[in-house]
Structure 1
Amino acid sequence: MPIVVNLDVIMAKRKMSLNELSEKVDITLSNLSILKTGKAKAVRFTTLEAICRALDCQPGDILEFVED
């Protein structure tokens, strides 16, 4: 897939666990895990906004386009 999710990289840089992020953005661990592993088919802008606020980052830090 040409869209790569770098959520785990940003979380590691911020030293934040999946549990902490889940609590801050009010998203279930399972949904956050699906996003983190790149298995999500879509992400809502409100979810992306909440994650960016919690991790103090930009959407481009989390999502990356990579040519096949």
Structure 2
Amino acid sequence: MAIILRLDRVMADRKISLNDLADQVGIANVSLSKIKTGKVSAIRFSTLNAICDALDCQRFSFFHIGCMLPCGYWACALFLP
């Protein structure tokens, strides 16, 4: 099982750019880009709360738990609330 980030989809739905979100959250563009692409191994809850406040979404609304299928596609097993 893996945690799949869908921050890019939430940002697209809200029509907000990476630069604008980074400014609102108060973190560097590079750090937010790493979060968006899933290149981080941890994220502070304070950062997660700031992202959710800026995007006006529920906590963990852009995380999914899934697994890689043998064909190479991801299967989402559970959507976190």
Q: What TM-score comes out, normalization by structure 2 length?
A: 0.79
Unaligned stretches of 5+ residues in structure 1? none
Instruction: State the Cα RMSD in Å.
Output: 1.2
Structure number with greater CO (CA < 8 Å, separation at least 6) is 1
Higher share of residues assigned strand: 2
Alpha-carbon shift at residue 23 of structure 1 (Å): 0.4
Unaligned stretches of 5+ residues in structure 2? 69-81
Q: Percent identity?
A: 49
Bigger radius of gyration among the two: 2
Once residues 38 and 18 of structure 1 are traced to their aligned partners in structure 2, the CA distance between those partners, rounded to angstroms, is 14
4+ residue runs over 6 A deviation: none
Residue correspondences, number: 68
Once residues 60 and 25 of structure 2 are traced to their aligned partners in structure 1, the CA distance between those partners, rounded to angstroms, is 18
